[in-house]
């Protein structure tokens, strides 16, 4: 990058002459540092650290992208999130998306499934199939991917507390298609620390939940070389109200904690690290989001090489999925959300994402209609084919503003790392409620800014004239819940009760042994047609359940 021959005094004089006074007056504030965004950035704003040099894509520290060719070689995967009603209904949506050009599948589960509850559990009433697909058993998993060749398409599953159970269902469903686990490609989220921090869907206390994560990483390292057993997720941290810097710091620290745990088990970091992936939010502050992704790659590469001694470049590469921000969508003037999503998606692309989900404009109102889903997918295709954004690698690299933001974002993350380490690490920090409090405070400040008018939201507290457009919404047929309850109860009547009892007993015995990897008995339980709720209940007899201490 070129250097400026102007001194700080020259820049001050330029500001006074240009604006009549310094730009500190009503400048927008950065969520990274709380300081005003400057009117102009120069090389004087860049880090003097030689390790912060942006380098080349595909080379350490990957600031400019994890692959040398990036989108000149291959576009990002267009992976739209889908799931509602029964497995059969979602299967039809999956095949619709594939027919319209989607290149990977991403599964949304309903609330009972995310919480480890069967559809006929009393707490499931009214929630079955509402916010995702209901999957209670191996039978449902088979229906979900019926007529979809699982060795030819990559599949993502967004589920955490019962992730090991869902992975067992998936592996056995593929087994019944004649596909062994080593040929399966995709990702299961499994990021349980994020649940305690932000999304609040758990089945077990923190320590046994972390054991299950370790068991999955260990088992997948041996049996599923194409599978990502953990997708460390900042998305839900951001949706809970965090700043971009908090999303970055807490997500990376979660990931580093999973690496620590695996290394403590005796795993070689290079045996599992290449299959760790990340999931970030693409929020509305365009340049800040791009800086976040660049900083994330740089921090992860350094930590993996210098802290954990990883030798393979594949272990240093942070590969990540991006989803546009659900929390940025508004029920008022919902067509505005098309614009928001397009801008957020472009930030993900210019930030170097490996796969992308674009939200539908009607998601603040209900689950998306097929028309809205198609438009969301077309948004990605327009960015890929019409805008030129994919024609060159890291087109914003070298921008004084972007590089300065990247440096500041990295500094903010390191400051949080130090605080978390001072509390005894991320697990202890979560138990003490530290990240939860930080996010709650950030969300409160944001809401204050909106209500005071300091932060403008179009259609909410600014430009509200004109009313809202009529929008068709997808309504979930209540009959889906009745049908799903009937399915799970019918399964219980048909299966071999003796075989089921034996496998659940074996699972409980294995859970008592800390050194016993639970994936094999979970696979046995899946083959015996145990339901998700039955497996969770069996494990809770050993692990117990979890109740969060309130954070104010």
Length of the chain: 552
Q: What integer pLDDT is reported at residue 477 of this predicted model?
A: 81
Read off the pLDDT of residues 281-316 as tens digits, 9 standing for 90 and up.
999 999 999 999 999 999 999 999 999 999 999 999
| Structural element, H or E, at residue 232 | strand 230-233
Q: What integer pLDDT is reported at residue 467 of this predicted model?
A: 65
User: How distant, in Å, are the alpha carbons of 21, 90, 372, 461 from that of 364?
Assistant: 42, 20, 12, 17
Residues 328, 241: Cα–Cα separation, whole Å = 11
Residue labelled with tokens 């809970």: 240
| Per-residue b or e along 209-227, where b marks 16 or more CB atoms closer than 10 Å to that residue's CB | bbbbbbbbbbbbbebbeeb
Q: What integer pLDDT is reported at residue 25 of this predicted model?
A: 45
Q: What integer pLDDT is reported at residue 21 of this predicted model?
A: 52
Q: What is the pTM of this model?
A: 0.90
Give the residue ranges of DSSP H helices in 129-205: 138-144, 163-176, 192-194
Instruction: Name which of 116, 438, 280 is nearest 430 in CA terms.
Output: 438
Ordered by where they begin, the domains of the chain are 17-66+237-350+360-433 (3.20.20.240)
Q: What integer pLDDT is reported at residue 23 of this predicted model?
A: 47
**Residue-level pLDDT, tens digit, the chain, 552 residues:** 445 566 767 766 766 676 665 444 455 656 665 667 888 888 888 877 766 668 899 999 999 999 999 999 999 998 877 788 889 989 998 888 888 887 778 898 999 999 999 999 999 999 998 889 999 999 999 999 999 999 998 999 999 999 999 999 999 999 999 999 999 999 999 999 999 999 999 999 999 999 999 999 999 999 999 999 999 999 999 999 999 999 999 999 999 999 999 999 999 999 999 999 999 999 999 999 999 999 999 999 999 999 999 999 999 999 999 999 999 999 999 999 999 999 999 999 999 999 999 999 998 888 788 899 899 999 999 999 999 999 999 999 999 999 999 999 999 999 999 999 999 999 999 999 999 999 999 999 999 999 999 999 999 999 998 766 667 777 778 888 999 999 999 999 999 999 999 999 999 999 999 999 999 999 999 999 999 999 999 999 999 999 888 776
Write the CB contacts of 133 (distance below 8 Å, at least 6 apart in sequence). 83, 84, 85, 86, 87, 89, 90, 107, 108, 109, 110, 113, 144
Residues 268, 262: Cα–Cα separation, whole Å = 8
**Per the structure block, which two tokens stand in for 254?**
């979660």
Q: What integer pLDDT is reported at residue 204 of this predicted model?
A: 97
- The vertex-200 CA angle with 433 and 112, nearest 5°, equals 160
Residues 57, 53: Cα–Cα separation, whole Å = 12
3-class DSSP assignment, residue 204:
coil
Query: Residue 231 forms beta bridges with which residues?
Result: 277
Residues 540, 70: Cα–Cα separation, whole Å = 45
């Amino acid at each position: 990058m070129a250097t400026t021959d102007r001194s700080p005094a020259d820049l001050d004089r330029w500001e006074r002459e240009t604006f009549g006074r310094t730009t500190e007056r009503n400048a927008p504030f950065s969520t990274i540092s709380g300081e005003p965004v400057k009117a102009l950035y120069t090389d004087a704003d860049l880090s003097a650290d030689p390790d912060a040099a942006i380098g080349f894509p595909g080379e350490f520290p990957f600031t400019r992208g994890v692959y040398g060719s990036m989108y000149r070689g291959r576009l990002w995967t267009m992976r739209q999130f889908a799931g509602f009603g029964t497995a059969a209904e979602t299967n039809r949506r999956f095949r619709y998306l594939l027919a319209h050009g989607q290149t990977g599948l991403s599964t949304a589960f309903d609330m009972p499934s995310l919480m480890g509850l069967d559809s006929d559990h009393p707490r499931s009433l009214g929630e079955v199939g509402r916010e995702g697909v209901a999957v209670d058993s191996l039978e449902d998993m088979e229906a979900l991917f019926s007529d979809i060749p699982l060795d030819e398409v990559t599949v993502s599953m967004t589920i955490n507390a019962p992730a090991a159970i869902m992975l067992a269902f998936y592996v056995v469903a593929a087994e019944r298609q004649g596909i062994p686990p080593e040929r399966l490609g995709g990702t299961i989220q499994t990021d349980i620390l994020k649940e305690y921090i932000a999304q609040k869907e758990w089945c077990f206390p923190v320590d046994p939940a972390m054991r299950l994560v370790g068991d999955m990483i260990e088992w997948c390292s041996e049996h599923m070389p194409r599978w990502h057993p953990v997708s460390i997720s900042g998305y839900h941290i951001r949706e809970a109200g965090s700043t971009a810097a908090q999303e970055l710091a807490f997500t990376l620290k979660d990931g580093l904690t999973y690496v620590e745990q695996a290394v403590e088990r005796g795993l070689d970091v290079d045996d599992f690290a290449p299959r760790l992936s990340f999931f970030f939010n693409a929020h509305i502050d365009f340049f800040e989001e791009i800086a976040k992704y660049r900083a994330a790659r740089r921090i992860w590469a350094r930590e993996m090489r210098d802290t954990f001694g990883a030798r393979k470049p594949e272990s240093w590469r942070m590969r990540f999925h991006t989803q546009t921000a659900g929390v940025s969508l508004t029920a008022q003037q919902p067509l505005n959300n098309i614009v928001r999503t397009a801008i957020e998606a472009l930030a993900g692309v210019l930030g170097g994402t490996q796969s992308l989900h674009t939200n539908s404009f009607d998601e603040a109102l209900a689950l998306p209609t097929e028309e809205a889903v198609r438009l969301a997918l077309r948004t990605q295709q327009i960015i890929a084919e019409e805008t030129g954004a994919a024609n060159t690698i890291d087109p914003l690299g070298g921008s004084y503003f972007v590089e300065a933001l990247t440096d500041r974002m990295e500094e903010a993350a390191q400051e949080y790392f130090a605080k978390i380490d001072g509390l005894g690490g991320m697990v202890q920090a979560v138990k003490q409620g530290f990240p939860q409090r930080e996010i709650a405070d950030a969300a409160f400040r944001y809401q204050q800014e909106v209500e005071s008018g300091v932060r403008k939201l179009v259609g909410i507290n600014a430009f509200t004239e004109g009313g809202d457009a009529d929008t068709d919404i997808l309504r979930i047929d209540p009959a889906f819940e009745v049908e799903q309850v009937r399915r799970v109860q019918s399964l219980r009547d048909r299966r071999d009760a003796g075989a089921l009892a034996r496998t659940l007993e074996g699972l409980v015995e294995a859970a008592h042994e800390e050194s016993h990897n639970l994936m094999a008995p979970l696979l046995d339980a899946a083959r015996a047609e145990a339901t998700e709720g039955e497996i969770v209940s069996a494990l809770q007899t050993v692990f117990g359940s979890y109740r969060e201490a309130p954070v104010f």
